[in-house]
A and B are shown apart, each in its own frame.
Chain A
């Protein structure tokens, strides 16, 4: 049963449990218990599973650890401290692990000082960086608190000797669970937790999370099932105890009639002013490239203000660089730091009094998480300023601000039944013990992420791991486990199994950046998917300059500077964040309220008053929003959550069908491809699609019946349609590579060598066609499709939208415009381009051949 804990315990109740030493230490450092502590300490002490959701700086970690320290100190004093791991602490970041180690060793030292003697309580970190000698030291003298990452936990669970230390652990603390629950790292962890609980049957699970929703699902993810029954868990929700001061700012009063240069100038002036008015500012951008750009521009425009006191911090930078920046922040040497996502999590970065978000953070939870990085202490106010760059951004951020203030958090998606991650664990289980197939299955089903796993999918993975898809004579190369069908037993195969497991597990795919060079000089990096689209002679933009592509070799693209030709391929941002569905729906609702007011011919004054009250924005912003909607209303039609407008317009070469479907990019990815598939299937020609958060477009040289394309899609057929629609896409190929690597079909580390990403890439292309020859529903291929449709895209929500169209809850309206309507402008300009492949490869070849013959003339012969 999942329950919400409504009332905190009293300080007296907690004090009664405390060992005198710990009590003395605590009150020498703090005056009183914080609210999260009043809620949490008793339950952690009683070994009840709890999920504590609170903002950064709300003393979550100490809440979780105080009972643990209390128990350890008490046992040490009584001389009954055993040589075993009492508590396993897991966080997604190595940096955070080292922070925690310091934050535990310090109080232990202080408690020992109070006690006037050594207590012998050991704390140790085990990550991928831990040396062999440190590891063997841990085996001799096990840490009472083991601090680790999800990946290292999976490794120690398969290590013979270490497993023994993990029997009868009392607690397992999972920190930053919000950063894990919505991706495959979390799925991976959910199985590790079950494997840990198999060793420590009565372990208590403590989850620590920043603001997240829905808490009940995250709690289920934390605790899992005991056979068919959910394990109990108490939810402690103190998400909104920290005071927030959030505002949306526009750099200029008028977001349309301002030139790009002016906008740019005003934006940096505003940023500079904000930074100068505060002590230390943290700026978040949505991409890594933008992070660098902001640092450069600030230095260039305000050389007196920014030199050594500004820094960038993002995932592409080296570890040393990031550590340097973190240290400078803690030492108060930086005035401003610019980051993408890497500083979202709770690593200690010292005192920040302002957070600036450049552009929409795309989800309420992320906005709160980022802004919560300021005012680190519980009683500080978090101060966040969102700077908007255009009118869509303004509307989006204004609605986001409303949701944040009204405490409406968008819901996350927890992936389920990921077959590739499961392969790793089945292999890991087989390495650590001989186990009956049914027992393995029921162990896996205890995880929230696999509770609905089909037996047939599981059986196929057993066959896959046992190499049954390969003829007997070659099976020895592929088989990782043995499975005796008569006895039902499963075990590891091969002497190198353990090494292969330990060096290849994990869920984060290797990044595949292509290095761009002019001669020997490195210019920058581009995404591999971008390279796939380039031909010799193509001109593209990188870091503000244009380059002509010459050729590529492995993961290096050779280019030359090209100053006078315009780009021939649009650069698009593949790493940009998608708008959450819930926030998209809120914007759709606002659009509806606005349209109703225009339809009722309400006065400008009234409508602006409504905007002011509904969205908590200032007059400038309200005016901008008003004129944006007014133009859309008079020129075209206002789309909303209950009305999809299909706008048809043409330029010299193409006809565009713009679908104003504001449901976020993950849903639009599905809708656009399904519509394009439906349309192009009848016309038998590739059509272009562009996808954004606010809608999508389909473009073609020929006229199409776009409305029909949407109408013939049926919600119950969408799974089948999408399976076909993504079959030949680049994204499926790329995700297949990731899945094949997770499922250990591509071994990144093999026989002491690490495989380059380029090599993985090439190999995966060959692998996918080989796998299709075995079965079009080969488990790994099936998982790649699931990942694309359910994790990257959102086929379930798309189904809901289609169902609403079928039930006439969402109307469809078609309009024709001469130039794109105001709402369509960004959509056409920023839409991520893709092509729906309908022709098969041979048809494509023949059409291209006809084109080239027309170009060179029929006479030209090859002899």
Chain B
């Protein structure tokens, strides 16, 4: 292990910090407003999944000091909806039971996080550095001098997933991607949004400016009951 380790949908850094990304709390309510009467289920499942992760960490006697949320904690752009307000606070309270400090890295959906963060005394930052690891949401590329300081970049935003196919059967799985960005190591985290697997990196157009490049040599690690290394993307086309 070189400074970081994949733990389910999170990344453990320096044995005391865990990073999660793209929870998209309030996803159902946002769909409701568009006319899709999706019943709520995400929040309960997020808590169940997080509980599993913390139990695992506890077993390994790892004590978490910091939790970094790498952007898009909530789904709705602009105003904070009722469901988001309620569930975000409940999620923060839950996370605070397992760490000393929560750091928010701002995502593109987090334009009005202020009131929520204030209520629970959480720091909001545009990016976060641990040693030479830069944690940033990934919807835009930061200034050069910030990138120059790091050796590894961890982004979210993209919701990477991969669909595996065998003859006519096709199934989609959340995955991590690992490759390069301007000679730096680049890690793309899957989303913690459990309503959808994410963007199929084999066939869909990617959003993040970090990924406007040939990604066929990126490595794929699928997250399911454990982490499965699938080698390079080009092997899966």
Question: Contact residues of A with B, CB < 8 Å?
Answer: 469-471, 474, 477-478, 532-537, 549, 551-553, 558, 686, 688, 744-751, 753, 755, 759-760, 762-763, 765-767, 770-771, 773-774, 833-835, 837, 841-842, 844-849, 851-852, 855-856, 860-863
Q: Beyond A471-B40, A755-B35, list 5 extra A-B contacts (CB 8 Å).
A: A470-B39, A844-B164, A860-B229, A862-B176, A862-B221
B164: A residues at CB distance < 8 A: 844-845, 848
Let me know if B2 is at the binding interface, CB within 8 A: yes
Name 9 interchain pairs, CB-CB below 8 A, sorted by A.
A470-B39, A474-B83, A477-B37, A552-B205, A744-B37, A746-B35, A749-B35, A774-B39, A845-B228
The 8 Å CB contact of B169, one of A835, A842, A855, A863, is A835
Q: When the two chains form their complex, are residues A535 and B165 in contact, meaning their CB atoms are under 8 A apart?
A: yes
Q: When the two chains form their complex, are residues A535 and B224 in contact, meaning their CB atoms are under 8 A apart?
A: no
Let me know if B75 is at the binding interface, CB within 8 A: no
- Among residues of B, the one whose C-beta sits closest to the C-beta of A556 is B205
Provide the bound-state CA to CA distance between A562 and B63, in Å.
55
Let me know if B167 is at the binding interface, CB within 8 A: yes
B224: A residues at CB distance < 8 A: 842, 845
A750: B residues at CB distance < 8 A: 34-35
The stretch from B13-21, B131-139, B195-203 touching chain A is B195-203
Let me know if B55 is at the binding interface, CB within 8 A: no
Q: When the two chains form their complex, are residues B235 and A553 in contact, meaning their CB atoms are under 8 A apart?
A: no
Let me know if B130 is at the binding interface, CB within 8 A: no
The 8 Å CB contact of A755, one of B32, B34, B167, B205, is B34
Let me know if B31 is at the binding interface, CB within 8 A: yes
Q: When the two chains form their complex, are residues A765 and B196 in contact, meaning their CB atoms are under 8 A apart?
A: yes
Provide the bound-state CA to CA distance between A762 and B205, in Å.
16
Q: When the two chains form their complex, are residues B204 and A533 in contact, meaning their CB atoms are under 8 A apart?
A: no
Provide the bound-state CA to CA distance between A534 and B224, in Å.
23
With A552-B203, A852-B230, A856-B231 in contact, do A862 and B36 touch (Cβ < 8 Å)?
Answer: no
Q: When the two chains form their complex, are residues B41 and A747 in contact, meaning their CB atoms are under 8 A apart?
A: no
Q: When the two chains form their complex, are residues B34 and A834 in contact, meaning their CB atoms are under 8 A apart?
A: no
Q: When the two chains form their complex, are residues A533 and B168 in contact, meaning their CB atoms are under 8 A apart?
A: yes
B204: A residues at CB distance < 8 A: 551-553
Let me know if B159 is at the binding interface, CB within 8 A: no
- Among residues of A, the one whose C-beta sits closest to the C-beta of B32 is A477
Provide the bound-state CA to CA distance between A193 and B225, in Å.
54
Let me know if B101 is at the binding interface, CB within 8 A: no
Question: Looking at A549, A773, A852, which has the most chain B CB atoms within 10 Å of its CB?
Answer: A852
Provide the bound-state CA to CA distance between A368 and B138, in Å.
63
Q: Smallest distance from the beta carbon of B99 to chain A beta carbons, Å?
A: 26
With A686-B169, A770-B38 in contact, do A856 and B195 touch (Cβ < 8 Å)?
Answer: no
Interface residues in B39-62 (C-beta closer than 8 Å to A): 39-41
Provide the bound-state CA to CA distance between A773 and B32, in Å.
18
With A477-B32, A852-B235, A862-B221 in contact, do A551 and B39 touch (Cβ < 8 Å)?
Answer: no
Q: When the two chains form their complex, are residues A834 and B237 in contact, meaning their CB atoms are under 8 A apart?
A: no
Q: When the two chains form their complex, are residues A767 and B203 in contact, meaning their CB atoms are under 8 A apart?
A: no
Q: When the two chains form their complex, are residues A835 and B237 in contact, meaning their CB atoms are under 8 A apart?
A: no
Q: When the two chains form their complex, are residues B235 and A856 in contact, meaning their CB atoms are under 8 A apart?
A: yes
B235: A residues at CB distance < 8 A: 852, 855-856
Provide the bound-state CA to CA distance between A766 and B197, in Å.
10
Let me know if B146 is at the binding interface, CB within 8 A: no
Task: Label chain B's interface by main secondary structure.
Answer: mixed
With A686-B166, A863-B2 in contact, do A842 and B225 touch (Cβ < 8 Å)?
Answer: yes
Q: Which 8 A-B pairs have the closest CB atoms?
A: A750-B35, A747-B35, A856-B231, A835-B168, A763-B36, A553-B205, A862-B229, A848-B164
Let me know if B178 is at the binding interface, CB within 8 A: yes
- Among residues of A, the one whose C-beta sits closest to the C-beta of B216 is A536
Provide the bound-state CA to CA distance between A191 and B40, in Å.
32
Q: Smallest distance from the beta carbon of B86 to chain A beta carbons, Å?
A: 9
Question: Contact residues of B with A, CB < 8 Å?
Answer: 2, 28-29, 31-41, 83, 163-171, 173, 176, 178, 195-196, 202-205, 219, 221-222, 224-225, 228-232, 235-237
Q: Smallest distance from the beta carbon of A656 to chain B beta carbons, Å?
A: 14
A533: B residues at CB distance < 8 A: 168, 170
With A748-B35, A862-B178 in contact, do A833 and B202 touch (Cβ < 8 Å)?
Answer: no
Provide the bound-state CA to CA distance between A373 and B41, in Å.
54
With A551-B205, A835-B169, A852-B235 in contact, do A535 and B35 touch (Cβ < 8 Å)?
Answer: no
Q: Smallest distance from the beta carbon of A681 to chain B beta carbons, Å?
A: 16
Provide the bound-state CA to CA distance between A852 and B83, in Å.
42
Q: When the two chains form their complex, are residues A536 and B203 in contact, meaning their CB atoms are under 8 A apart?
A: yes
- Among residues of B, the one whose C-beta sits closest to the C-beta of A550 is B203
The 8 Å CB contact of B231, one of A770, A847, A860, is A860
With A534-B203, A751-B35, A862-B219 in contact, do A844 and B229 touch (Cβ < 8 Å)?
Answer: no
B166: A residues at CB distance < 8 A: 686, 844, 847-848, 851
Provide the bound-state CA to CA distance between A862 and B2, in Å.
11
Q: When the two chains form their complex, are residues A845 and B39 in contact, meaning their CB atoms are under 8 A apart?
A: no
- Among residues of B, the one whose C-beta sits closest to the C-beta of A760 is B36
Provide the bound-state CA to CA distance between A188 and B69, in Å.
50
Q: When the two chains form their complex, are residues A767 and B38 in contact, meaning their CB atoms are under 8 A apart?
A: yes
B31: A residues at CB distance < 8 A: 763, 766
Q: When the two chains form their complex, are residues B38 and A844 in contact, meaning their CB atoms are under 8 A apart?
A: no
B219: A residues at CB distance < 8 A: 862
Q: When the two chains form their complex, are residues B203 and A837 in contact, meaning their CB atoms are under 8 A apart?
A: no
Provide the bound-state CA to CA distance between A88 and B169, in Å.
50
- Among residues of A, the one whose C-beta sits closest to the C-beta of B230 is A852
- Among residues of B, the one whose C-beta sits closest to the C-beta of A855 is B235
- Among residues of B, the one whose C-beta sits closest to the C-beta of A839 is B169
Q: When the two chains form their complex, are residues B36 and A688 in contact, meaning their CB atoms are under 8 A apart?
A: no
Q: When the two chains form their complex, are residues B237 and A536 in contact, meaning their CB atoms are under 8 A apart?
A: yes
B195: A residues at CB distance < 8 A: 766, 770
Question: Looking at A747, A759, A835, A845, which has the most chain B CB atoms within 10 Å of its CB?
Answer: A845
B38: A residues at CB distance < 8 A: 763, 766-767, 770
Provide the bound-state CA to CA distance between A855 and B235, in Å.
8
A856: B residues at CB distance < 8 A: 231-232, 235
Q: When the two chains form their complex, are residues A745 and B37 in contact, meaning their CB atoms are under 8 A apart?
A: yes
Q: When the two chains form their complex, are residues B229 and A536 in contact, meaning their CB atoms are under 8 A apart?
A: no
Q: Smallest distance from the beta carbon of A392 to chain B beta carbons, Å?
A: 24
B236: A residues at CB distance < 8 A: 852
Provide the bound-state CA to CA distance between A745 and B34, in Å.
11
B2: A residues at CB distance < 8 A: 863
- Among residues of B, the one whose C-beta sits closest to the C-beta of A764 is B36
Q: Smallest distance from the beta carbon of B104 to chain A beta carbons, Å?
A: 26
Q: Smallest distance from the beta carbon of A651 to chain B beta carbons, Å?
A: 15
- Among residues of B, the one whose C-beta sits closest to the C-beta of A687 is B167
- Among residues of B, the one whose C-beta sits closest to the C-beta of A840 is B171
Provide the bound-state CA to CA distance between A835 and B164, in Å.
14
Q: When the two chains form their complex, are residues B37 and A747 in contact, meaning their CB atoms are under 8 A apart?
A: yes
Q: Smallest distance from the beta carbon of A682 to chain B beta carbons, Å?
A: 19
Provide the bound-state CA to CA distance between A326 and B225, in Å.
60
B237: A residues at CB distance < 8 A: 535-537
- Among residues of A, the one whose C-beta sits closest to the C-beta of B36 is A763
A753: B residues at CB distance < 8 A: 34-35
Q: Smallest distance from the beta carbon of B25 to chain A beta carbons, Å?
A: 15
A849: B residues at CB distance < 8 A: 222, 228, 230
Q: Smallest distance from the beta carbon of A849 to chain B beta carbons, Å?
A: 5
Question: Looking at B169, B228, B235, which has the most chain A CB atoms within 10 Å of its CB?
Answer: B169
Q: Smallest distance from the beta carbon of B177 to chain A beta carbons, Å?
A: 10
A855: B residues at CB distance < 8 A: 231, 235
